[in-house]
Amino acid sequence: MAVPIDCRRCWPPSSGENPSSMRLSRYFLPTLRETPKEAEIVSHRLMLRAGMIRQQAAGIYSWLPLGKRVLANIEQIVREEQNRAGAIEILMPTIQPADLWRESGRYDDYGKEMLRIEDRHERDMLYGPTNEEMVTEIFRAYVSSYRALPLNLYHIQWKFRDEVRPRFGIMRGREFLMKDAYSFDIDQEGARAAYHRMFVSYLRTFERLGLKAIPMRADTGPIGGDLSHEFIILADTGESEVFCDRTYLSMNAPDAGVDYWDDAAMAKIVEEFTTPYAATDEMHDEAAYNALPEADRLSARGIEVGHIFYFGTKYSEPMNARVQGPDGKEHTVHMGSYGIGPTRLVAAIIEAFHDEDGIKWPEAVAPFHVGLINMKPGDAACDEICEKLYNALPASGVDVLYDDTDNRAGAKFATFDLIGVPFQVIAGPRSAAEGKVEIKNRADGSRDTVTVEEAINRFVAA
């Protein structure tokens, strides 16, 4: 028998351990057995209990390792789908000069939700609640020809809106992460095509996140038209009441092969997804809804996880963002903006996927794929099997959180149920002696006892 070597204090790992996998004994996972009293909704309670976030002030949170991993996974999916749809990533600052906002007139209009700051030179600054002005400034500085269009620039950046009443944890924080994309086109027709690309991109993004997001017509304000949609996911604890055709539940987003530059195809998909009835309470048309067959009506609570809209020349006009067209004339560009809130999505996903024991992460965003539970550290068979799995799975791209602690079985199960890792691989003395482990599926609670090789193959194949 090999001499056991306690290498838990060796860090960074010299063995080539995949850093995307972790030993629990070396991780920072401050879980809570009891729920802090301020947490009212389930996602907030579970995020605090699972050690994902730490509140620093009203509506302002630190992201702890587990939360950070989920957030990063969401960001990456959003990023990939934005890129696929032709948007180009940039990064604008959180702090902006007030002068830009004076140009658009919003410095005075925005009100107290905007956090205003003065720097040491007594210059008026602000912590950006959004970036239309800044991206328009970038655009006008460099783009002067229609040949550069269409153009869509996005970034994923922290925003601050000084909400009167932050609540529901991260769901309605003051500081939040947002992906905001901004499209520039020479005319409304081009802007419509840009809008459609983002619409389709959103369908794919939310589907990849494991969510059923339903596009609902939103108020376009003074601009009017049909180019504003909120993407709503259904959850019992949603903030607003929504009404839609049940048919949405069985609709699937287009696959990755769609051609975003085929305007007609894009328009067709958008039409398909905007034809069935769907509205939030403020846009609700009782008569139209009641015209649906009783069985098709779906009335539920919803959480807004994305919002896209066309706003024409609202910023390009006052800020002089113009390009020269093929006709030799100057054209004020038509713009749209497209937001997704990754931080809110973390909470929204939990609202949609949890049970009384904890979170049930969809695989695409899970902080780890597998929770490897060594039921009896020190037992030769358990240790050997766990080390084998802990080496094999990460090597194949499966992120593992290995519970190598000597806590009791019940505590380990409770922790992994709480943090919602999709699969628990359990190595206990009885089965380990036969070279087997148990696999528990967190989503449906099903269990299987398989050989170590089968376990490896199952995750690697998936």
Partner RNA sequence: CGGAGUGUAGCGCAGCCUGGUAGCGCACCUGCUUCGGGAGCAGGGGGUCGCAGGUUCAAAUCCUGCCACUCCGACCA
Half-sphere exposure of 2 (CA within 13 A, CB side): 10
**Do the beta carbons of residue 250 and residue 212 sit within 8 Å?**
no
Q: How far is the CB of 32 from RNA (least distance, A)?
A: 5
Contact between 57 and RNA by CB under 7 A: the answer reads yes
Q: Name which position in 92, 414, 443, 450 contacts RNA (CB under 7 A).
A: 414
Contact between 4 and RNA by CB under 7 A: the answer reads no
Q: How far is the CB of 429 from RNA (least distance, A)?
A: 6
Residues 317-356: x where in contact with RNA by CB under 7 A, - otherwise, as a string: ----------------------xxx-xx------------
Contact between 438 and RNA by CB under 7 A: the answer reads yes
Rounded to whole angstroms, the Cα distance separating 256 from 85 reads 10
**What's CA 62's distance to the chain center, in Å?**
17
Q: How far is the CB of 295 from RNA (least distance, A)?
A: 30
Contact between 306 and RNA by CB under 7 A: the answer reads yes
Q: Name which position in 2, 3, 141, 164 contacts RNA (CB under 7 A).
A: 164
Q: How far is the CB of 180 from RNA (least distance, A)?
A: 8
Query: What is the DSSP pairing of strand 278-280 with strand 330-332?
Result: unpaired
Tell me the β-bridge partners of 297: 245
Question: Which amino acid is present at 398?
Answer: V
Rounded to whole angstroms, the Cα distance separating 391 from 396 reads 9
The residue behind tokens 């070279």 is 435
Phi, then psi, of 259 in degrees rounded to 5: -95, 105
**Do the beta carbons of residue 103 and residue 133 sit within 8 Å?**
yes
Q: How far is the CB of 310 from RNA (least distance, A)?
A: 14
Contact between 150 and RNA by CB under 7 A: the answer reads no
Query: What's the sign of the alpha-carbon dihedral 298, 301, 307, 312?
Result: positive
The residue range among 138-146, 170-178, 208-216, 390-398 that interacts with RNA, by the rule CB under 7 A, is 170-178
The residue range among 3-11, 174-182, 204-212, 256-264 that interacts with RNA, by the rule CB under 7 A, is 174-182
The residue range among 194-202, 204-212, 320-328, 404-412 that interacts with RNA, by the rule CB under 7 A, is 404-412
Q: Name which position in 140, 172, 334, 360 contacts RNA (CB under 7 A).
A: 172
The residue behind tokens 């628990």 is 424
Q: Which is nearer to RNA, 297 or 376 (CB)?
A: 376
Q: How many residues bind RNA (CB under 7 A)?
A: 63
Q: Using N-to-C axis directions, what is the helix angle for 188-208 and 65-84, rounded to 10°?
A: 140
Rounded to whole angstroms, the Cα distance separating 134 from 116 reads 16
Cis, peptide link before residue 326, omega less than 30° from 0: no
Q: Name which position in 304, 351, 383, 404 contacts RNA (CB under 7 A).
A: 304
Q: Using N-to-C axis directions, what is the helix angle for 342-352 and 65-84, rounded to 10°?
A: 110
Contact between 238 and RNA by CB under 7 A: the answer reads no
Q: Which is nearer to RNA, 260 or 311 (CB)?
A: 311
**What's CA 44's distance to the chain center, in Å?**
16
Q: How far is the CB of 375 from RNA (least distance, A)?
A: 5
Phi, then psi, of 186 in degrees rounded to 5: -75, -25
Token couple for 209: 């996140």
Q: Name which position in 426, 452, 455, 456 contacts RNA (CB under 7 A).
A: 426
Rounded to whole angstroms, the Cα distance separating 17 from 8 reads 12
Residues 16-45: x where in contact with RNA by CB under 7 A, - otherwise, as a string: ---------------xxxxxxxxxx-----
- Residue 312's nearest CA partner among 182, 201, 217 is 182
The residue range among 75-83, 101-109, 260-268, 424-432 that interacts with RNA, by the rule CB under 7 A, is 424-432
Q: How far is the CB of 166 from RNA (least distance, A)?
A: 6
DSSP 146: G
The residue range among 79-87, 116-124, 292-300, 304-312 that interacts with RNA, by the rule CB under 7 A, is 304-312
Where in 373-392 is the site for RNA (CB under 7 A)?
A: 375-376
Q: Name which position in 258, 431, 455, 459 contacts RNA (CB under 7 A).
A: 431
Contact between 284 and RNA by CB under 7 A: the answer reads no
Q: Name which position in 68, 167, 212, 388 contacts RNA (CB under 7 A).
A: 167
Rounded to whole angstroms, the Cα distance separating 361 from 110 reads 37
Rg (C-alpha) for the chain, rounded Å, is 25
Token couple for 340: 């997704």
Residues 6+ apart with CB under 8 A from 55: 38, 48, 61, 62, 169
Q: Which is nearer to RNA, 144 or 240 (CB)?
A: 240
Q: Which residues are at the interface with RNA (CB under 7 A)?
A: 31-40, 49, 55, 57-59, 161, 163-168, 171-174, 176, 178, 230, 239-240, 304-307, 339-341, 343-344, 357, 375-376, 406-411, 413-415, 417-418, 426-431, 438, 440, 447
